[in-house]
Structure formats: C-alpha cells, structure tokens
A and B are shown apart, each in its own frame.
Chain A
Amino acid sequence: MKISTGYKLTKYLVLASLAGSLASLLTLQAGLGELYPFFHWKLYSQPLGSAGSYTFYRIYSRKTHEAHYQRRPVRATSTFSAEEYVYTFNDLVANTLADTAAGQPHRKRLLRFIQHVEPGADQYKVVAEIYHPKAPAQGICSYDTATVITFQ
C-alpha cells in the first residue's frame, strides 16, 4: 500500500468514526438507537446526587416462614463481579420499570438474575432506597424505601 494511500485512509477512517460518534448522539435522542457503538463518553458530567437525592435499587428476599424481607447487599458472585452485578441489575430494573411489552421479557430476566445471584429464597422484591444527602461529610446512611417490583 502506498504511503499516501495509507495516510488518506487513516484520516477518512478517523473522520468517519468521529461523525459516527456525533450522529449516534442524535439517533439515540431520536429513539433510533446507537448508530455507531463508540460514542458513549458522557461519563460523570454531573456529580452523583447533584439533584439532592440518589436512588439505589436492592434485592430483598425472604423464605416462606420468615416474617420480614431481608436486604441483600451488593456482592461479587462466582459469575458476576460486584461491578457487573450493579450494572446488570440496574439495567434490568430500569428496563423492567419501563417494560410495557406483552409477557414483560425484562421482568422475567430480572427475576432470573435475582434468583441466580441470591438463590435459596422463596420470595423476592426490588426496593428503591432513596437517599437525601444533606451533609455528605456526616454520611448518607438514612434513606426512604419504596418497593418498586414484586414477584408473586
């Protein structure tokens, strides 16, 4: 390959990638999905909790003979690292809450994920834990809870 050809192809390839990245921002906003996968660089554009509250989702479970649900903290398992657990779980919860499709496929996947990472319980639910950090230096341990998804 000629050197001049290599230079031109490299330049056009990079420009096409940049254009794809910028186009993906627009197609995603328009609900058309990601045109080009290498575009998602909107990371930490705001501090977490910047709007005054922050919501975590957690698995709560109980066996049939137990009176109360127990909170199951995030943990690494044999097949999910702690990071993968959080990302996968949050994605499944968000999709389940938005799911209006017949059969609710995301709900079934969410339950399968929960049963996989927290086996052994008879009943599960997903609880939103809503923190209102007023004084971050004093900690953000208190929170409100709201059950968002139950599995019967």
Chain B
Amino acid sequence: MINWSALSVFAILFAFVSVLGFFGARFRPGDLNQLHEWGLGGRRFGNVITWFLIGGDLYTAYTFIAVPALVYGQGSPAFFTLPYTAIAYPIAFVFAPRFWTIAKNRGYITFADFARERYDSRSLSLVVAVTGILTMMPYIALQLVGIQVVIKALGLSGSGIMRDVPVIVAFVILAAYTYRGGLRAPALVAIVKDALIYITVIAAVIIITAKLGGFAHIFSTVGPLLAARAKPASLLLPPQNYSAYVTLALGSAMALFMYPHSITGVLSASGPNVIRRNMAALPAYSVLLGIMALFGYMAIAAGVNPEHPNDVVPQLFLKMLPAWFAGFGFAAIAIGALVPAAIMSIAAANLFTRNIYREYVNPRCTDRQESGTAKLVSLLVKFGALVFVLGVPTEYAINFQLLAAGWILQTFPTLIFGLYTRWFHRRALLIGWGAGMVVATLMYAGNHFGPVYPLHVGPLTIPGFAALYAFAANLIVTVALTLAFDRLGVSRGADKTQPKDYEEAAADA
C-alpha cells in the first residue's frame, strides 16, 4: 500500500539530488585523472564545504536509523553516543590538523601512506590498509539497508526482485556520479542532505513533542513503559552499566577518526585551520543526533510498535507527521545514505589503489592508471555492498560492522602515536595490531557480536567495550615487544618524514 504523498515528495528530492551529483565534477574543477583530485577533491574544500562534507560523512543514514532504534530497544545505555561525540572532536582537534599537514607535505592520500613512510614498513602499511578496507564494506552495506528501511516505510514493498529495485536504482545513481566526480560529487550532495536533515529533525522534534504533550509528559510516560517490558529498561543508567557506557564512549571516540571515510573527509580540507574550526562547529551535528536519539523515546510514548527496531524512526514519522513531510524526512535519510556510501567507497578505493595496487601490483603506474584503478575499485566496492545487502540477512551486515568497529581501533597506536613519536618499534606495532585483532574477533565472536564484553578479572566481571579491551591488549603487546626488539637490536627502518614536514605553513589556510 503505497503512501503516495510521501512517495512523490521523496521522488522529487531524490531526483534533484541525483542530478546535482552529476554536476559534482564541475565543482571547483581539477584534473580528475589525478588520484588526489578524484579521491580528495584536490584538498580544496574550505570551512563551509568541509563542515557539510564531514557532517554528512560521519552522520550516516544508518546512524539516524540505528541510534533511535537502539534507544527504543534499550533505553538509557544507548545514549553513550552523546559522551562519545563530545570526546571525539577534542581528540580530532589535536591530531587531525597535524595529520593533514604531514599528508599535504608528503603527498599522502591515506593513513597507510603515512605508516609506510614513518615506519619504513610495507607490512604495517598493508595491514592498516586492509583493516580500513574491511571496515568500509559492511558500513556501505548498512547505508543501503538504511535506504531499504525507508523504502519499506513508503509502502514500496513488493516481493522478490521488485522489492530490490529501488535500492538498485539508488545504487546505480550513486555509482555513476561518484565514478565521474570523485569526492566532489558527495561534497555537493552533502550540502543538500545536511540541510534536509536539519530541517527535518528540528521541525519533527517540535511537532512531535507538541503532539505528545511536551518533554515532561514524554519522559514520565516512557519511564514506566520501559520498566514494564519483558526485558526491563530504564530512563536512568543502572550502575552495572557504567563501565560499558564509559568504555563504549571512549573507544568509539578514539575509533571515529580512524575510519577511512573520516580520514578522507579530513584530508580533503584546504588547510589545518579549516579542520580546527570544523572540530569546533561539527558538534552541532551531534546535538542533532542527540535529538534523534530522543525520537526513540518519543516513539515509545506515541505507541509506535515497529516489527523491527530499525523501523522506529520511519514509523514515528508516518504516525506523527503529515504524509508529505514524512516523505521529506525519508528523502533526507535516503540521501543521507548516499553521501557516506559514496565517501566510504572512495576511501576504500584510495586505500586499495595507493597501498595495494601502486605498492604491490604496479609501482610505476601513471596518474591515469592510478585514478582509473580507484574509480573501478570504488564501483566494485559499492557493487559488493549491494550484493551483500540483497543476498545476506541484515543481521550479518550489522554484526560485521560491529566487528569492524573493533578492528579499526587497533590501528590507533600505529597512526596516532606515530604522529608524535617513533618510540614504538614497527614490528611491535605490527604484532600488537595482530594481537588486538585476534582479541577483538574472539571477544565479538564469543559474545554473539555484542559490543560489550563481560571481562572476568578474578572475582569481578567488568562489562566493557570489546574494542577497547582489544586495544589495551594491543598496547601491552606493543610496548613489551618494543622494549624486547630494541634490546635484541631488531632493525627499526628509516623514517622518511622530516620534522619540518609536520610544521604548518606560515600562511593561514
């Protein structure tokens, strides 16, 4: 049963954005046969574009669907996203400009490029690249899942292949304009996407809260409803959840800018000060996300009963907003999937092209071959994600992404410590990474892919974020082996970076 008013608004906005994407190549033109032009927009995005790009990149459709769904399902523990984002930006404020500078001065496109030169280690660079690529794949798949959820809410659910047509159409459009324009395409689309999201969320929160009788009423209704569930939940955080809450916030904050798509967004800025100003301004999106999280509670108060938690936001919109505005909101979310999916595929392509293709397959490739490979890889990555989404139950995509989140944190020592010191030995970092990966994988696999692992320390059981526990293991191994290898005289290789490469140019960016 198709919701025509919602669908028509949705279709118009979606078509508009698709056309816009195709004009992306002309935006601040550059030679798209060069990888840094295609893959990093030529490092030319100023304050405003960067804000839209990184905002659109980090706050994905899946985020907007999954966070309220988690709140609906779990109550207070799901709100770790608030302290998580409050911590993430200060961390990035400190290190991201420094990374931008070294990347600009030495021509890096990826974090793995940095690992290669700083530590003179191809293997370290390879593991960073592979980890990064692996994390992008499920994340892209989940964006397509976000589109599916919205399509379903529009009433376009057929069966078999008919059901999949909208997602395939979305994918084809996305693939086409990304292929041509590279990072410029999602940058342009991000402006529209973010504008739509802000309008939707601000208007929706005002309307829905008013309809539900104000915040006080919402909270007073939700509390008892949560407590009355088969698996009781609460508005306040139960003390036994404290360690999980804190470790989830800290670990996620540390991992956020390790993701290739975050790095790509950062590196496309035109200067380190653009990044600093954005770290001050990007928290605005987090406030938005906080409000969206509250939608989970509003859904409970409004009596929304979705068949699957991911349907919470769409069902809430359909129930509480005029149909055309629901369509508007759905378009915002669907477009909100395209921007990060595009950037993620570009980020994965950058990693593969620079750190696998150029490193191992064709070291003397021309610019054209390099950018051509990247374009092809980004297409393949998106295609792979599409096949995954259509063929594999959503459950697996979600679990894979959770695991990947645990993995990406293991690259933190190599990259972040490497920006400031060479104390850590390259072989130690490599083995430490391996240890972290193994611990993370074992913990997730042993816990049905729940991110919070109950660690048994003697008589105590401390539930904590598995990724952070794995990081701790990683760090311990890395430190111990650094000391051991130095004692044994294992070669450290030569640092190809110079101190002056880390210094910012005197002219303000």
Does A pair with B?
no
